[in-house]
Structure 1
């Protein structure tokens, strides 16, 4: 088991459940590469603060070479706002990360087809979205882009904004069963869909048909990380676990990367967690911090983690 400074500091700073995960083993050469900053760092989480970018408890600098985008093309740096769900590819050591690519990974973009009376739950592309607030300024029929994290069949939203495209979008992990192919919980049809692998990540733009409950794909991307920071040596992922039939019995909802098979993740099954550790083709997480569900309490914990 590796017990580096990064994991200890995370545990102490959080003051919650920062724990070393049992069963994580990788070679000495891989460990030296992580500690020396050789190889990229992939980060998935929600942007909680500026002063550089603080994403999932990681402080990441940007420079003139950093590229910004979402599922519909390029963005300006100022387009990225607190609450956006980001995929970041960075170089440097864990304490001096520089973003090479910042991608706003919307789980959903589409029309609000249903809403609870208090506005705390809406339905978009057939998926339940938990907004957590009674007033987001949107009404039934509005087209919105959802930032947030998948939690099993639903999305826990961190930000809703007006959609900037007339196309719908869905991003998440692939589920195949009895000839049905789904992204998250939504059946998808179209060119390239048949080649999607179980458990992989994909992002599709197209049209959601409310009558059939199917998403007709126009364009399909199958990479969460595109190599902007070179081969990844480390991951830091904020998310929720969901059960899977393969070892270690869980994966992170919507991620598309599998854990090292020897990890014991049972205590984190019901929580929102920030996992960190080496990436060797599988996610060899060596630390986990259980995060509060409340937005402000979680923001305080993640801010401390970034110090």
Structure 2
């Protein structure tokens, strides 16, 4: 049995319990969306698979914040998405799908496996870069690792498309200029964000800056209690704070050496408590155990 089928078997049963609780306790949650959040990279179609989960939708289902797609039937492997879904038999049914695009902007420079966009480094397989040239405008799908993006898909966009960056606020001090990745944000100084917040900034691109015209926070249309995310951990701060980059979940550790920023993680978070599983190291049974604890709220 493949690892994603193990995930599916465990999660459907457990998250169905979570849904029942949510329906009773959180029916009036802000945004009106009840369900489990699934954040990650599409690996297969029919409808889509994200983090091993089979998510169904109607072909004309609208995509929120879409840059290279507007409806769900345009989604392709490599796109990154944030989905709020509810259990439907052995699968999931999407209630909300948002395209997650870490970067949209012009390519400043290109080497064999590296792009520079608005001062931020993008790592990509050579196959993804074959048709990309400096000056091209592209939408980058992928995951943040430290202050760079590991690309999973590159889509050309019209040069008239607003430039955009979506990532986690790190080392931010109130009243000071904001930097996401290697990109300096100009045009506004946010006053009400916190370390670990995910920001989506839209505006005009320059060489290593983005002049902000709009700034939004949050990954999902409403914050689900249970979120299943793919990503990389940040380096813990002096206070022990760390986050799963791009996922809007923050935790603390008194043992920073246990946090590995280089390992891709599958993380289940339940009401702010994290249950991580190094994606490339653990057996399916070990990952399933972690997810079981997360969904049932058992102390870790």
TM-score tier (shorter): 0.7 to 0.9
In structure 1, the partner of 2:28 is none
Question: For residue 197 of structure 1, what is the aligned residue in structure 2?
Answer: 194
**CA distance in 2: counterparts of 1:260 and 1:97, whole angstroms:** 31
Q: Conserved in 2, the CA contact under 8 Å of 1:10 and 1:289?
A: no
Asked if 1:122 is matched to 2:99, the reply is no
- TM-score normalized with structure 2 length: 0.75
Equivalent pair of 2:47/2:57 in contact (CA under 8 Å): yes
Aligned partner of 1:242 among 234, 237, 261: 234
Q: Which residue of 1 aligns with 2:162?
A: 167
One of 194, 202, 214 as aligned partner of 1:219: 214
Q: Highest relative contact order (Cα 8 Å, sep 6+), 1 or 2?
A: 1
- In the TM superposition, what is the alpha-carbon distance from 1:55 to its structure 2 partner? 0.8
TM-score scaled by length of structure 1:
0.73
1:251 aligns with 2:249: no
Summarize the Cα distance change of 1:129–1:94 in structure 2 as closer, same or farther, 3 Å threshold: farther
Q: Distance in 1 between matches of 2:131 and 2:92?
A: 35
Q: Distance in 1 between matches of 2:195 and 2:15?
A: 29
1:257, distance to aligned residue in structure 2 (A): 1.8
- Asked if the contact 2:8–2:90 (Cα under 8 Å) also holds between the matched residues in 1, the reply is no
Matched residue of 1:83: which SS?
A: coil
Looking at structure 2, the residues matched to 197 and 232 of structure 1 have their Cα atoms a distance apart, in angstroms, of 19
CA contact (8 A) 1:147 1:157 kept: yes
Alignment of 1:72-111 (within 5 A): 72=67, 75-92=70-87, 95-111=90-106
> Which residue of structure 2 lines up, in the alignment, with residue 149 of structure 1?
143
Say whether 1:275 aligns with 2:267.
Answer: yes
Matches within 5 A, 1:276-295: 276-278=268-270, 280=271, 282=272, 284-291=273-280
1:184 match: 181
Paired residue for 2:298? none
SS class of match (1:195): coil
CA distance in structure 2 between the partners assigned to 1:272 and 1:33 by the alignment = 28
| Distance (whole Å) between structure 2 residues aligned to residue 8 and residue 247 of structure 1 | 38
Residue 251 of structure 2 aligns to a residue whose secondary structure is: coil
Structure 1 runs not aligned, ≥5 long: 1-5, 14-29, 293-300
Unaligned 5+ segments in structure 2 are 23-33, 282-286, 292-300
* Aligned counterparts of 2:238 and 2:95: Cα–Cα separation in 1: 33
Q: For 1:72 and 1:271, how far apart are their aligned partners in 2?
A: 28
CA distance in 1, matches of 2:88, 2:200: 29
SS in 2 for 1:69: coil
Three-state SS of the structure 1 residue aligned to 2:249 is: coil
Q: Deviations over 1:189-230 (max 9, x none)?
A: 2347333333211111111221xx321111222121112xxx
- Which residue of 60, 76, 89 maps to 2:55? 60
* Aligned residue number for residue 19 of structure 1: none
Counterpart residue number, 1:18: none
Shift of 1:170: 0.4
